[in-house]
Amino acid sequence: MYTDLNKKVAVITGGSKGIGTAISKRFGQEHMSVVINYNSDAVGAQKAADEVEANGGKAVIVQANVATEEGNKALLDAALDNFGDLDVWVNNAGMEIKSPTHELSLDDWNKVISIDQTGVFLGSKTALTYFKAQNKPGNIINMSSVHEQIPWPTFSSYAAAKGGVKLFTKTIAMEYAKEGIRVNAIGPGAINTPINAKKFADKAQYDQTVSMVPMDRIGTPEEVAAGAAWLASSESSYVTGITLFIDGGMTLYPAFKDGQG
Ligand code: BGC
């Protein structure tokens, strides 16, 4: 546990499932107060909130579209109204659409960019505005992906968004470093979450993905949440502008693993 997180207030977007739920739960274990955002899955968000409370934290759930300014304002308001402050903002909500790029509709492109990239901008802007107005140090964590670095054919909108999140994170980390606001990203690899459920239900695809991971296994949401807790805590007090890859080595060029090349 990171004792400095005790009673700190966090907003987590996309908290109704997968990595967002795991981060909420972990923040509950750290005895934080958490605003859990969801888009459509109120039941999943409530389950996450119950786990936060069972672990010693506090939680409220808030429906909001992170691709809008009103949605992000509603999340900040929920933090202030329920818990009186904001310390940590996690831009976690995300989606992916698979399509050959020449067949990808503008609508689908816009959908992915609006959640995965614009949502990160709007969430960060909302948190930064509050931190600056209060003249307080703050902490922003953006959920990126190994695909901020690894090209991903047939997922170009997702890779474009995550590449954008990478440099957006580094840029605002630099822009607000003097104010004591730290901004970092997490780059998960293949994690056992609903986004991958269909793919991993197919044994051939599951084995294929595992073969791309030097550690030879799929990761857990809890392993990603552990990174979020560290980045949120003062144990990482001199860290800003990084992407913390939590990927079992997926970004290490696994095709070279037996000395080929
Ligand atoms: C994607 C997963 C994928 C993983 C590794 C993640 O960013 O969301 O669907 O399995 O990258 O390719």
CA dist., res. 50 & res. 143, Å (int)? 23
Cα(86) to ligand 1 centroid in Å equals: 30
For residue 209, the CA-to-ligand 1 centroid distance in Å is 9
Q: What is the pLDDT of residue 37?
A: 98
pLDDT at 72: 98
Q: 192: which 2 tokens?
A: 């056992």
Predicted local distance difference test score (pLDDT) of residue 43 = 98
pLDDT digits (tens, 9 = 90+) for 192-219: 999 999 999 999 999 999 999 999 999 9
Minimum CA distance residue for ligand 1 atom 3: 190
Residue 260 has a pLDDT of 92
User: How confident is residue 139, by pLDDT bands cut at 50, 70 and 90?
Assistant: very high
Return the residue whose CA atom lies nearest to atom 7 of ligand 1: 145
Is 41 part of a structural domain of the chain? yes
> Is residue 260 domain-resident?
no
Distance CA 244, CA 231 (A): 9
In this prediction, residues 240-256 reach a mean pLDDT of: 97
CATH code (residue 234):
3.40.50.720
Structural domains of the chain, count: 1
What stretches of the chain show up as alpha helix (H) in DSSP?
Answer: 18-29, 42-54, 69-83, 106-113, 119-134, 156-175, 197-201, 203-210, 221-232
**Which of 196, 209, 220, 250 maximizes ligand 1 atoms within 8 Å of its Cβ, making it the mutation to test the pocket?**
196
Question: What contacts 45, CB < 8 A, 6 or more positions away?
Answer: 15, 16, 36, 37, 38, 61
Query: Mean pLDDT, the chain, as a whole number?
Result: 98
In a domain, 256, yes or no: no
Check if the beta carbon of residue 89 is closer than 8 Å to that of residue 11: yes
Q: Are strands 33-38 and 182-188 parallel, antiparallel or unpaired?
A: unpaired
pLDDT-above-90 percentage for the chain? 99
pLDDT tens digit string along 20-61? 999 999 999 999 999 999 999 999 999 999 999 999 999 999
What's the pLDDT at 110?
98
* Ligand 1 center to 250 CA (angstroms): 10
Task: Give a yes or no: residue 259 inside a domain.
Answer: no
Confidence of residue 111 (pLDDT cuts 50, 70, 90): very high
Give, for ligand 1, the residue of 145, 198, 200 to mutate: max count of ligand atoms closer than 8 Å to Cβ. Answer: 145
Q: Quick one: average pLDDT of 231-237?
A: 98
Is 253 within the bounds of a domain?
no
Mean pLDDT of 148-167: 98
Q: What pLDDT was estimated at residue 199?
A: 95
Using a 6 Å CB cutoff, which residues line ligand 1? 96, 145-147, 189-190, 195-196
Residue nearest (by alpha carbon) to ligand 1 atom 1: 190
| H or E element, residue 36 | strand 33-38
pLDDT at 66: 98
Nearest protein Cα to ligand 1, atom 10: 190
- Mean per-residue pLDDT, 167-188: 98
Its domain, for residue 216, covers 3-248
Residue 57 domain flag = yes
CB 200 within 8 A of CB 218: yes
User: Per residue in 86-95, pLDDT tens?
Assistant: 999 999 999 9
Q: Strand pairing partners for 185?
A: 142, 243
Which helix (H) or strand (E) covers residue 60, if one does? strand 58-63
Q: How far is the CA of 18 from the centre of ligand 1 (A)?
A: 12
- The catalytic residue positions are 158
